[in-house]
Amino acid sequence: MDRKVILCVDDEPIILESLREQLEKHFGDNYIYETAESAEEALEILNDLEEEGVEVAIIVCDWLMPGMKGDQFLLQIDLKYPRVIKILLTGQADQESVDNLEDLADLFTLVAKPWNKEELITIVNNGLRNYE
């Protein structure tokens, strides 16, 4: 079976767990679900998956994390895996930051915390459709 991976990145385990379960419940066994607590860990996972020959279809990433920030991380991913669907979750209400991020809206989709499940699923589905 040639399942693709959905990767969730967030420094908060509660977010990570609930997000993963949410996605898993919706997409079921069609995907492999991986989680990482930092951008650095995510890059590791991506490396491993690449070696295993497993494709990553979706990355859902928190913005504000210790170490590398979500936007930076996604920018890197964009360079390496332009096709991956990139979704940035942000709990930051700072308008300036949001404005900055919107400049990058072409690269990835911005979803505010607390997010709406349907919205997230729709975005992912759209992305997946584009992806395939």
Partner 1 sequence: MKFLHASSRLLFGVVCIFLLLGFLLTWIGVGRLNTHQEASLQSEITHISQLQNHALKSRYFSGWERIAQADELEFDSLRKAPNLDYVIVLTSNDAEGKPWYTTHSDTGLLVPLHSALLIHQRFQNAEGSIWIETVKDKPYLCLAKQLTRDGMQTHGIVVFTLPLDTFLSQMADDSGLVRQVALLTADTVLYGRTGSACLNHEIGFASLKNQSWGLFTCAEKQESRYAWSKQPLFGSVAMLYVQDAPVQPSPAKNFLLLVIFMLAAGMLLVPLYFKRKYYRQIGQISQVVHQIRDKNFDCTLPTGLTDEMSDLANAIDGMRQNLKEIYHDLEIRVIRRTSEISMRNAELRKTHRDILKQNTELQSAYDALKESREKYEKLIQHLENEYFFYSKALNGTLLFVSKSVHKILGYHSNDYRNRHQTLYTRNPLNEEARNQQSVILKEARPVEYLAEVTDAGGQEKVLEVVEVPVFNDDHVLVSIEGMARDITEKQKNEELIKEQEEQYRMLFNHASDFIFLYELNTRENKVGKFIEANQYTLQRLNYSMDELRQITPLDLIAVDIWRSDIQNLEEFTLSKEKFERIWESKEGKIINLEISTHVFNIKNRDVVIAVARDITDRKRAEEEIRFVNEELVNQKENLEALVDNLTQTQEQLVQSEKMAALGQLIAGIAHEINTPLGAIKASIGNLSDSLDTALRELPELTQNQSPLDMKVFSELFDKALVKKPELSSREKRQIRRDTSQLLGRHHIAEPDLLADTLVYLGIYQDNLETLLPQFQELDNPLKVVRSARNFISLMKNSGTINVAVEKATKVVFALKKYAHRDAMGEKASADIIDGIETVLTLYNNQLKQGIEVTRDYDELPLVNCFKDEISQVWTNLLQNAIQAMRLEGTLLISAKLNGDSVVVSFKDSGPGIDPEIQERIFEPFFTTKKAGEGSGLGLDIVKKIVEKHDGSIWLESELGKGATFHVKIPLE
Binding residue (CB under 8 A) for partner 1 from 15, 74, 77, 110: 15
Q: Is residue 56 packed enough to be buried (19+ CB in 10 Å), middle (13-18) or exposed (0-12)? A: buried
Query: Binding partner 1 by CB under 8 A: which of 4, 6, 27, 35?
Result: 35
29: CB partners within 8 A, 6+ apart: 3
Residue 92 Cα distances to 11, 63, 98, angstroms: 14, 8, 8
Cβ proximity to partner 1, 45 vs 85, nearer residue: 45
Residue 64 lies near partner 1 (rule: CB under 8 A): yes
* Contact call for residue 11 and partner 1 (CB under 8 A): yes
* Residue 114: cis peptide before it, omega within 30 degrees of 0: yes
Which of 72, 100, 105, 117 binds partner 1 (CB under 8 A)? It is 117
Cα distance between residue 9 and residue 74, in whole Å = 11
Q: Any contact of residue 55 with partner 1 (CB under 8 A)? A: no
Q: Which stretches of the chain bind partner 1, using CB under 8 A? A: 11-19, 21-22, 25, 29, 32-37, 41, 45, 64-67, 89-94, 97, 112-117
